[in-house]
Amino acid sequence: MPYITITDGTRIYYTDQGEGRPVLLSHGWPLSSDAWAREIKLIADAGYRAIAHDRRGHGRSSKTYAGNDLDTHVGDLRELVLTLDLTDLTLIGHGAGAGEVVRYAARHGQGRVVSIITVGGVAPLLLQTVTNPDGVPLDALDAMREAVLENASQYWIDLAGPFFGGDRRGATVTRGDSDDLWRQGQNLNLAAAYDGIRAFSETDLTDDLRALEVPVLLAHGADDRIVPSAATSEIAITLLAQGTLTIYPDAPHGIVGAYRRALDDDIIAFLSS
């Protein structure tokens, strides 16, 4: 399996499939690069080079106690891009991964990044504040931290309903989707799981969005109750120089079913545009 070793000794796993112009995918919390398996194949099949990594603490990467913050994640991504010498690069990020690719592109992407896709992205800020009343309240985020610390395995099981939208619309969450969320969550180091909540919810990316000059597609589920679009993508679109916002009716945070099929079509169309 391919790894790179970061300057601080952390080993970062990545998968690299296909040939052509590079597309790098960053996963959401509490997932790993496995969450992008379908997209990796479809992107490679379409004639691109699909690359996806496990953030530190996640999946097959080093189970780190320290460095579970957005700036460290961005530094790890920068080292991966430099090691592979990626240019003419499209970045795709889901949830927390969207925050990672936005900050990377804003701070390190000049001359390398040509376009970005965020899916259920956390930018500019997920946390509820006086100026962001539709965000997630701090006490709800604290409850997530407590649940992860108390019994992470059970939390990943309980998370499947709201994550995939099956607990509110009368839809069912498939056993495969639920089990795979649990499996990926169980491969997440507890310190990274706990600290990651702050990283994806309390990091303000307003200035990063304003700094982007490349085309950005903001994809968001209308029924995303993990990362509400009103607090994130619907604000992000007003900050971008070249942004397009696509809201998917009835779609949750997790990328599944009809939402996944529609999104994948849009990803391939965006890459070829």
Enumerate the domain spans of the chain: 3-272
Output helix, strand, coil percentages for the chain, rounded to the nearest 5.
45, 20, 40
The pLDDT score that the predictor gives to residue 172 is: 77
CA dihedral 203, 208, 81, 202 (to 10 degrees): 10
Nearest of 47, 72, 49, 53 to residue 2 by alpha carbon:
53
Query: What predicted TM-score, i.e. pTM, was given to this entire model?
Result: 0.97
The pLDDT score that the predictor gives to residue 248 is: 97
Q: Is 235 helix (H, G, I), strand (E, B) or coil?
A: helix
The domain covering 3-272 belongs, at the CATH homologous superfamily level, to Alpha/Beta hydrolase fold, catalytic domain (3.40.50.1820)
Q: What is the DSSP letter of 61?
A: S
The pLDDT score that the predictor gives to residue 169 is: 62
The Cα-based distances of 29 to 51, 122, 158, 200, 270 in angstroms read 18, 11, 15, 8, 24
What is the pLDDT tens value at each position of the chain, 273 positions in all?
A: 699 999 999 999 999 999 999 999 999 999 999 999 999 999 999 999 999 999 999 999 999 999 999 999 999 999 999 999 999 999 999 999 999 999 999 999 999 999 999 999 999 999 999 999 999 999 999 999 999 999 999 999 999 999 999 876 667 789 999 999 999 999 999 999 999 999 999 999 999 999 999 999 999 999 999 999 999 999 999 999 999 999 999 999 999 999 999 999 999 999 999
The pLDDT score that the predictor gives to residue 166 is: 82
